[in-house]
Structure 1
Amino acid sequence: MTVLSSASSFSSSLITFFLLFSSIITLTTSTSPTFIKFLNFSLQNLIYSSPSTPKPNFIITPTHASHIQDVVRCSKANGFQVRVRSGGHDYEGVSYVSDTPFVIVDLIHFRKVSVDVKDETSWVEAGATIGEVYYHISKHSDRHGFPAGVCPTVGVGGHISGGGMGFLMRKYGVAADNVLDAEIVDVNGKLLNRKSMGEDLFWAVRGGGGANFGVIVSWKIRLVRVLKVVTVFNVPIRLEEGATTLFFKWQNEAHRFHEDLFMRTIIQVKNPNANKTIEVLFNSIFFGTVEKLLPLMEKSFPELGLERINCMEMSWVNSTLHNAQLYGEPIEILLNRDHPKTYFKGKSDFVKKAISIADLDKIWKIMLDGDDKSPVLINDPFGGRMNEIAENEIPFPHRSDWKDGKKSPEYIDTIRRLHKYMGRHVSKSPRGAFLNYKDFDLGVNTDINGIGRYLKARNSWGAIYFKNNFERLAMVKNKVDPENFFWNQQSIPPLSSV
């Protein structure tokens, strides 16, 4: 069966194929009455929901890999760009916005998660969410997990291909470090796995942005071992309670903690309308019981004054609910793809050494001087396993640093001012950023060709995301997509030689 709203040269070529093979596909056109509703279903950043935002000509929801193959072939033959959407959390809307005629391949039906506990692996389709992965692993084993992110509605297609940081990275690395195989539809519509795509392309899609090279169909991931009981805690400290000194201490110590202890900080303005102040939330997970955690904290970070009353023991899968602020809900909520939609701007950086107390006071002032939409600073420590993995092991190069991510719900002036001020304290030559926190402020692609296009990208956003790995990514791009079909504002440019 073929469900269509109208016809064009593009849809006609699809009709021919799908009628021949009696396949099922939903193709929604811009004239369909359900078009906007379907377009906005997975859209998370409301900045890109305005009527003036460019819309796709078609939204296609394939149900089989062969559908994706033919969409790529048809799009290429008819002059359409292909944008791929799994969870819709793309910070700059790359997965659903383009200034040229384009189609969205929405992978909402590619959500199968097959778990092999004996082999300690899982095949995960690219349209599944992080929450769905966590849920299905937990249904097969309470001693296995996967090192991915916090928000359960993020799609694994983009999350893993961008690196995928999360609460388990100090013990097991980022999500992309734990990929064993992958399936991808290339620019010629061929379905490839690790063996047939070759090690160069397999290297590139694990942290280099899969949509730069094709359409990721599925990942084979390594399951990691977790304890039956983990311990979590949230301890909020405000400025008047000594938050500045405590955060300064955290900067110097968090990356040195035992790898079983992950403690991030979330900094935000409290009481925006009266008696405004800064609150630093110490948000943590420990692989073990409270009895083992308290002596470790007394040794590693006694200044926090952690007590048993601050701690909760639970299973690993319940800790994912806790970290997503869903604790107390049934684990089936991890299957929910609906997520609150907001206006936001994300920025990221990697801090090499602790910011002084004097400079922290200046940062607090910038945050407190903002409007009622002050930014949130989320700071994740590295160390542990992250220090043991080489920068060129996969394209994600950021290892012995910690991330300072910033998100603003509506107004972005304060966050840009804060990011500018942070420039003196963070990574330099080049300044670093996290691909999953995509940021067009760093620069976008232009129409320059050849070596000029490569240099323009490298000197703006390329080296910031990938450091020295950018050159190899551009060489892989030239090998698998020399005509740059899979293009977007920050896609890897093809480079034949340096």
Structure 2
Amino acid sequence: MLPTLPLLLFLLLLLPVPLSPASPPAVQTCQDFIHCLISGGGGFPSNLIYAPSNPNYSTILESTIRDARFNSTSTPKPSLILTPISTSQIQAAVLCSRRHDFHIRIRSGGHDYEGLSYSYSSHQQTPFPPFAVLDLASFRNVTVNRAEKTAWVQSGAVLGELYYRIAKRSPHLAFPAGVTNTVGVGGHFSGGGFGFLVRKFGLAADNVIDCRGRILDRASMGQDFFWAIRGGGGNTFGIAVAWKIRLVTVPSTVTVFSVVRTIEQNGLDIANKWQSVSSKLPKELSLDLLLTTTNRTKNRATIKIAIFSALFLGKTDKLLNLMQSKFPELGLTGEDCKEMTWLESVVFHGGFPSNATVEALLDRSKNSPLVWTLKYKCKSDFVRGDPIPESALLKMWEKLMEIEPEFGGILMFPWGGEMEEISEFRIPFPHRGGNLYMIQHMAYWSDEGERHVGWLRELYDLAGDYVSREPRSAYVNYRDLDIGMNGEEEEGYERARVWGEKYFGKNFERLVRVKTAVDPENLFRNEQSVPPLPRGIRSQRIAAGSQFDRCTL
């Protein structure tokens, strides 16, 4: 049975707003917003509203903060946390937000790399306004239709819950999305989403097939609107309460491995070969590479290691034959390989203890599976055309030997396969054909100070000559405010183009037109949300979009 309201998109499109108000809105107080929620027709229960004076406020706020960098006394914190349990309460929050000009931010799983789902950037030049966090943690239903090979999943569910519910209905069904079990579905799908099945089945957002609800569904919202919400970034076009997804078929037995090669074991040569081979392997095999270090002493690490991790949709004997033919340099053996179910492979690659069971995927706490007490910063790149020269790869690896972060790494995800065959315009995520692999530059640390972020920026700069350029592409789900932030309305569009074209390429302009049509007052926004066009140029720019579907305007 489908959820009663599988997708609601509460937008200014549904709440008539004049494009040119007669006078600017008056400054409203937090108390006005609360009164609207509880007594002004909103019907929002007071026990689901948490102010800083509430003893449970900090527990609720910190429950899904995954980066300790944004859990300090200097972090901008919400004036209120709203924890709705019904779709009508979400609608009330949006109505009152618009009525009282009180900003809300939407939190699904709390994995935003810059903390923008529950905070403001501390790098903003102007003081941040009061705001509320709308926490979707109670919206966690997953309904699987085994015969149809589809599922409805609510945005507050995390990936571990989604995978577990799918596999328990059928061990032959799966879904192509990320590795970390505590990532929220809403934000993940909104930015694209990928994992070990990406080369076979594409992104998570490629496999979102419908939206249904009493307010808007795929047909009534229009194709451009439906296109935009699948990869155009979260907290931009509305609130997606649930998604209908296409499930994929996997064999009953898959094979995994994770092998380590030091530089003394020809790790550099093997890593260099990986650059040319990994995107050309059969779709059934995804082979990631992590360059990092170990054996840290007081001043620096002393051992460079390359970790090759894989998922193969098949059994060990076939994998060994394939690797011997395509990538013998790795020296893979049968002892390196483990056969298991697809669901067990998610646990294997998810950073859990070796004795963890599949039920560990249901643990949404901050104790699973990574160390969320650490601060971290990540940056992304795409390598197109030619691999990084071996000499440059070595320089990047040498940079990892410095002691600055407690953990630093260069994680490389191979593209090719299905990603080579999907058009860059199919959804807003444009990074398709011609990309060999994607990079995630990472730094984790526990002490105070910005020097670790500076170290990561230096690592990022080392790669600059060898990755995509004009623009230097980035992945929106690895949000990085270093590449730009929005400004005030009249300058916001031009400033947003700087970071927007890095994330969305040629799709950025289409996203802006959709945003202008469905949310012209920019109710749903953050420091890196797609902005509407400035009022003065709206009509001609929207008219210039020859293929633009005006949704339901």
Taking structure 1 as the reference length, the TM-score comes to 0.94
Q: Is contact 1:266-1:282 (8 Å) kept? A: yes
The sequence identity of aligned pairs, in percent, is 42
Determine the structure 2 residue equivalent to 1:259.
283
Which of the residues 92, 102, 108 maps onto 1:70?
A: 92
1:276 matches 2:276: no
SS in 1 for 2:49: strand
Q: Is contact 1:270-1:278 (8 Å) kept? A: yes
Q: 1:489 and 1:361, CA in 2 relative to 1: closer, same or farther beyond 3 A?
A: same
Q: How does 1:372-451 map to 2 (within 5 A)?
A: 372-400=405-433, 401=435, 402-410=437-445, 411-449=452-490
Question: Residue type of the partner of 1:48?
Answer: F
Q: How does 1:86-485 map to 2 (within 5 A)?
A: 86-98=108-120, 99-182=128-211, 191-273=215-297, 276-326=302-352, 327-339=354-366, 340-341=371-372, 342-352=374-384, 353-400=386-433, 401=435, 402-410=437-445, 411-449=452-490, 452-458=491-497, 460-485=498-523
Q: Is contact 2:486-2:493 (8 Å) kept? A: no
SS in 1 for 2:82: strand
**Take 1:168 and 1:489, find their aligned partners in 2: how far apart are those partners?**
31
**1:365 shift after superposition:** 1.8
**1:338 shift after superposition:** 1.1
Q: Is contact 1:177-1:394 (8 Å) kept? A: yes
Q: 1:16 and 1:270, CA in 2 relative to 1: closer, same or farther beyond 3 A?
A: same
**1:191 shift after superposition:** 3.6
SS in 1 for 2:378: strand
Q: Is contact 1:138-1:144 (8 Å) kept? A: yes
SS in 2 for 1:276: strand
Q: Is contact 1:160-1:207 (8 Å) kept? A: yes
Question: Residue type of the partner of 2:424?
Answer: E
**1:79 shift after superposition:** 1.8
| Deviation readout 1:87-107 (Å, 9 max, x if unpaired) | 101000110013211111101
Q: Is contact 1:24-1:63 (8 Å) kept? A: no
Question: Residue type of the partner of 2:140?
Answer: R
**Take 2:42 and 2:150, find their aligned partners in 1: how far apart are those partners?**
37
Q: Is contact 1:347-1:405 (8 Å) kept? A: yes
| Deviation readout 1:214-240 (Å, 9 max, x if unpaired) | 111111000000000000001100111
**Take 2:97 and 2:217, find their aligned partners in 1: how far apart are those partners?**
22
SS in 2 for 1:115: strand
Question: Residue type of the partner of 1:399?
Answer: R
SS in 2 for 1:208: coil
Which of the residues 20, 23, 42 maps onto 2:64?
A: 42
Q: Is contact 2:512-2:530 (8 Å) kept? A: yes
**Take 2:392 and 2:63, find their aligned partners in 1: how far apart are those partners?**
42
| Deviation readout 1:411-440 (Å, 9 max, x if unpaired) | 222211010111101000111000000000
Q: 1:55 and 1:296, CA in 2 relative to 1: closer, same or farther beyond 3 A?
A: same
Q: Is contact 1:368-1:374 (8 Å) kept? A: no
SS in 1 for 2:39: helix
Question: Residue type of the partner of 2:340?
Answer: M
Q: Is contact 2:42-2:93 (8 Å) kept? A: no
SS in 2 for 1:232: strand
**1:372 shift after superposition:** 4.8
SS in 1 for 2:235: helix
Q: 1:166 and 1:414, CA in 2 relative to 1: closer, same or farther beyond 3 A?
A: same
SS in 2 for 1:192: coil
SS in 2 for 1:486: coil
SS in 2 for 1:322: helix
SS in 1 for 2:530: coil
**1:355 shift after superposition:** 1.0
| Deviation readout 1:421-480 (Å, 9 max, x if unpaired) | 11101000111000000000001011141xx4322211x201000000000000000000
Question: Residue type of the partner of 1:378?
Answer: L
Q: Is contact 1:183-1:216 (8 Å) kept? A: no
**1:55 shift after superposition:** 1.3
Q: Is contact 1:391-1:399 (8 Å) kept? A: yes
Q: Is contact 1:374-1:414 (8 Å) kept? A: no
**1:182 shift after superposition:** 2.8
Q: 1:372 and 1:197, CA in 2 relative to 1: closer, same or farther beyond 3 A?
A: closer
Taking structure 2 as the reference length, the TM-score comes to 0.85
**Take 2:141 and 2:161, find their aligned partners in 1: how far apart are those partners?**
9
**1:267 shift after superposition:** 1.4
Q: Is contact 2:36-2:42 (8 Å) kept? A: no
**Take 2:48 and 2:220, find their aligned partners in 1: how far apart are those partners?**
29
Determine the structure 2 residue equivalent to 1:187.
none
Report the more deviating stretch, 46-55 or 255-264: 46-55
Question: Residue type of the partner of 2:187?
Answer: G
Q: Is contact 2:293-2:301 (8 Å) kept? A: no
Instruction: Give the paired residue count.
Output: 484
Which of the residues 482, 491, 496 maps onto 2:529?
A: 491
**1:19 shift after superposition:** 8.4
**1:492 shift after superposition:** 0.4
**Take 1:192 and 1:58, find their aligned partners in 2: how far apart are those partners?**
28
Runs of 4+ in 1 over 3 A off after TM superposition: 17-20, 22-25
SS in 2 for 1:435: coil
**1:369 shift after superposition:** 2.7
Q: 1:453 and 1:349, CA in 2 relative to 1: closer, same or farther beyond 3 A?
A: same
Question: Residue type of the partner of 1:457?
Answer: A
Report the more deviating stretch, 399-408 or 298-307: 399-408
**1:243 shift after superposition:** 0.7
Q: Is contact 1:137-1:144 (8 Å) kept? A: yes
Question: Residue type of the partner of 2:411?
Answer: I
SS in 2 for 1:227: coil
**Take 2:30 and 2:483, find their aligned partners in 1: how far apart are those partners?**
39
Structure 1 segments unaligned to the other structure (5+ residues): 1-5, 185-189
**Take 2:212 and 2:409, find their aligned partners in 1: how far apart are those partners?**
36
Q: Is contact 1:375-1:414 (8 Å) kept? A: no
Structure ranking higher on relative contact order (CA contacts 8 Å, 6+ apart): 2
